[in-house]
Amino acid sequence: MTKITIAIDGFSSTGKSTVAKQLAKHLGYVYVDTGAMYRAVTYYAIQNGLINKEDFNKETLVYQLQNIQVNFKFNETLGFAEVYLNGVNIENEIRTLEVSSFVSKVAAITEVRRKLVEQQQEMGKNKGVVMDGRDIGTVVFPKANLKLFMTASAETRGKRRYDELISRGDRVKYEDVLKNVQDRDYLDSNREDSPLVKAKDAIEIDNSNMTLDEQFDKILNLVKMAL
Binding window for ligand C5P (CB under 6 A); candidates: 53-61, 130-138, 149-157, 212-220:
130-138
156 annotated to a ligand binding site: no
Give the three-class secondary structure for 200: coil
Asked if residues 45 and 61 have their Cβ atoms less than 8 Å apart, the reply is yes
∠ CA 138-144-146, rounded to 5°? 105
CA separation for the pair 141, 119 (Å, rounded): 12
Shortest distance, CB of residue 152 to ligand C5P, whole angstroms? 13
Position 98: which residue type? E
Contacts with ligand C5P, 76-105, as mask; x by CB under 6 A: ---------------------------xx-
How buried is residue 122: exposed, middle or buried, by Cβ count under 10 Å (0-12/13-18/19+)? exposed
DSSP secondary structure letters along 151-197: E--HHHHHHHHHHHHHHTT----HHHHHHHHHHHHHHHHH-SSS---
- Rule CB under 6 A: say whether 10 interacts with ligand C5P: no
Nearer to ligand C5P, 107 or 129 (CB): 107
Among 41, 135, 141, 149, binds ligand C5P (CB under 6 A): 135
CA separation for the pair 54, 198 (Å, rounded): 33
Binding window for ligand C5P (CB under 6 A); candidates: 31-39, 57-65, 71-79, 206-214:
31-39
For the beta carbon of residue 96, count every other beta carbon within 10 angstroms.
Answer: 16
14 annotated to a ligand binding site: yes
Shortest distance, CB of residue 2 to ligand C5P, whole angstroms? 25
147 annotated to a ligand binding site: no
Among 146, 184, 205, 223, binds ligand C5P (CB under 6 A): 184
101 annotated to a ligand binding site: no
28 annotated to a ligand binding site: no
11 annotated to a ligand binding site: yes
Shortest distance, CB of residue 27 to ligand C5P, whole angstroms? 21
Size of residue set near ligand C5P by CB under 6 A: 14
**What are the two backbone dihedrals, phi and then psi, of residue 126, each rounded to the nearest 5 degrees?**
-95, 15
